[in-house]
Chain A
Amino acid sequence: MAAAGTCGTGTRSTGSMVAAASTNNVTSFQRRGPRASGADSGCSRLVSIAGTRPSVRNGQLLVSTGLPALDQLLGGGLAVGTVLLIEEDKYNIYSPLLFKYFLAEGIVSGHALLVASAKEDPADILQKLPAPLIDDSYKKECDEDVCSHKMEPDIKMKIAWRYQLLPKMEAGPVSSSRFGHYYDISKRIPQELIETSKWHGFFLPEKISSAFNVESCSLTPGYMKLLQFIQNIIYKEGFDGSNPQKKQKNILRIGIQNLGSPLWGDDICCTENCDTSHSLTKFLYILRGLLRTSLSACIITMPTHLIQNKAVIARVTNLSDTVVGLESFIGSEKETNPLYKDYHGLIHIRQIPRLNNLIYDISDVKDLAFKLKKKLFTIERKFAVKKTPYLRRLQTLKNIYGENCQLGDMICCPKIKVCLSNKEFIQSFNV
């Protein structure tokens, strides 16, 4: 069979398959290989791990962030081996929700967890995770929140495909869905689920002992200890392929809360020119090195609005893979703006990585807003509205010339051929 043939040649596939026991090329980026023929050991021992799926584009292994709407925006999910950086909103109200969704998804999918925090005991964080919703209760939640623009399920999608982003349009969780679950924020996760899960906690005040040895490199002691802890867990539990006896592969989900805040011993949020200015960036680099060589995914929330030095924010963004920023309306003038009255804040997808590819999955929709309902956190396209001719023209313009342009702007290009029948639109350009 062709499948066995390609497995046999090996040169192309060894680099891309997970080599189970080799120490030098265990990467978490796996090509969606041919069906496991089982004959050749170099072939895909890609036993599918619960709670993951290969990406449609390049076969990369993805895990769910816990919010199916966010998964869609990130191109299907979070790639294993990468870092998801959440830039916290100003009063840190909504970013802990994303953090908790990520961890809850890990528990429900059976992944191992590593929770690190300088503020809260990881055991307490786990107690407060949201409860997973089973199918019929999700449908009830949907019905309760009927909004004015809920569509009838039997009308086919005649309107633009991008409206598919409205999470209300998605069917509820399929009964045996193994990727992406829905959660009820108003309820706590059942105790039995926490007890059956495998988790490791890192609470900074406990780990920093009074006698700290002078570290030879420029990381702050808190980061140093955290890195050593993470590396220890990865090595002991065999997430980097170092333990070949382990038949059942699993993913390690790492969650680090409020990284960069003064509680971690880093004064990058306090002064503009601080002594430990490279501590955070070095930490991120080494963390990413650890993740790339193991089956793990990491979520970090960082109070970037507190960082005084904008250059550091740019560097941190460059050193992370996926960056999502939350901007809540509390306390800003947008809170009273009638345009935004349905939403609690904006969500910005600042960066999506290009992994094993020149291109990446990026959704066209850039203006996204979130809303925290009683039980759900939803992400919607801002001003999801009826399709007036004005907005359709505007959207076409934005598709061609970029997000910030408006109708009536002078656009300097030699020819415009626009396939719209509306004469008024074409006349608004000087051609």
Chain B
Amino acid sequence: MFPELNNFNTTRAEQGKLTLLCDAKTDGSFLVHHFLSFYLKANCKVCFVALVQSFSHYNMVGQKLGVSLTTARERGQLVVLEGLKSAVDIFFRPREEPHPLQFLREANAGDLQPLYAFVRDTLEPVDCGEAAWRCPVLLVDDLSVLLSLGVGPVAVLDFVHYCRATVCREWKGNVVALVHDSGDAEDKESDVLLNGLSHQSHLILRVEGLATGFCKDVHGQLRILWRRPLQPTTPRDRSLTYQYKIQDKSVSFFAKGMSPAVL
């Protein structure tokens, strides 16, 4: 986790929140690593739907951030659904038992019901007496890949809705999902998904590349938008903007124009 990002109070131990990570013209996957390491360190039970990269990628970055995903997986704290590996298994070695990603087998990808069932079975709080984890967390990297694989945006929205109802409301857990904003590529399905999710989420972290193009010292801009604040006294829809630079083991944040390279 990045200590500076924590200081922005994005990840207080609030429960029942949907956090939306959104990136436009740049790569926002560093936020996924942040939340993954944060929740693992906070002793939460995490279900990680990793559709974009292989497990060892997340593991190696996690080690730089101070968590070991393999240990967490062995302890039962972390359950990872590897999209790339499962796709190969489903496609080339078809078996009859249902798989969370079995929509890959079908011609018209239906809905994500099996995936929701997998999430529900994984995060269901069990009443055994041993060390209980704190709130359950669902982390998805990322939802836009589901659109590329033929799932309709409404089906993805339904899936998120079901997860929110179960994980956030019933079990007081958190859901974090990454979505790509296609910008001027006019991807209607992606816009539907993004708008629908923005409306439902409590916290939006939007990562954008600089408008002037690539820069060596400032990698982009992060906008944090709090919607639906949980205390009634705070003003609605507070937002903050920072610029950031990604380094080897952390990310440094600074106010706009205050990059250390310039000062």
Tell me whether A31 and B60 are in contact (CB under 8 A).
Answer: yes
Chain B contacts for A231, CB-based, 8 A: 88, 92
Closest to B108 in A: A218
Q: Which residue of B29, B85, B104 is within 8 Å of A217 (Cβ)?
A: B104
A16 to B251, CA, bound (A): 24
Q: Which residue of B145, B148, B215, B248 is within 8 Å of A400 (Cβ)?
A: B215
Say which one of B116-124, B168-176, B184-192 lies at the interface with A. Answer: B184-192
Tell me whether A137 is interfacial, beta carbon within 8 Å: no
Tell me whether B213 and A403 are in contact (CB under 8 A).
Answer: yes
Tell me whether B70 and A358 are in contact (CB under 8 A).
Answer: no
Q: Which residue of B55, B107, B180, B248 is within 8 Å of A318 (Cβ)?
A: B180
Tell me whether B87 and A403 are in contact (CB under 8 A).
Answer: no
Closest to A224 in B: B91
Tell me whether B182 and A314 are in contact (CB under 8 A).
Answer: yes
A360 to chain B, nearest CB (A): 9
A356 to chain B, nearest CB (A): 4
Bitwise interface map of A from 51 to 83 toward B, beta carbon under 8 Å scored 1, else 0: 000000010000000000000000000000000
Tell me whether B188 and A289 are in contact (CB under 8 A).
Answer: no
Say which one of B133-141, B158-166, B254-262 lies at the interface with A. Answer: B254-262
Tell me whether B215 and A281 are in contact (CB under 8 A).
Answer: no
Tell me whether B6 is interfacial, beta carbon within 8 Å: no
Q: Which residue of B30, B186, B188, B189 is within 8 Å of A358 (Cβ)?
A: B30
Task: Please count how many residues in chain A sit with their CB below 8 Å of the partner chain's CB atoms.
Answer: 56
Closest to A412 in B: B257
Tell me whether A359 and B246 are in contact (CB under 8 A).
Answer: yes
B168 to chain A, nearest CB (A): 27
Residues facing B in A17-66 (CB within 8 A) are: 25, 27, 29, 31, 58
Tell me whether B9 is interfacial, beta carbon within 8 Å: no
Q: Which residue of A25, A357, A400, A414 is within 8 Å of B217 (Cβ)?
A: A400
Tell me whether B236 is interfacial, beta carbon within 8 Å: no
21 A/B residue pairs, CB under 8 Å, sorted by A: A215-B107, A217-B91, A227-B91, A278-B148, A281-B148, A289-B84, A289-B85, A292-B85, A310-B184, A311-B182, A313-B185, A318-B145, A319-B145, A355-B53, A357-B64, A358-B30, A358-B248, A359-B246, A359-B247, A412-B257, A417-B263
Give the interface of A toward B (CB within 8 A).
Answer: 11-12, 14-16, 25, 27, 29, 31, 58, 215-218, 227-228, 231, 278, 281-282, 285-286, 288-290, 292-293, 310-311, 313-315, 318-319, 354-359, 362, 364, 366, 399-405, 412-417
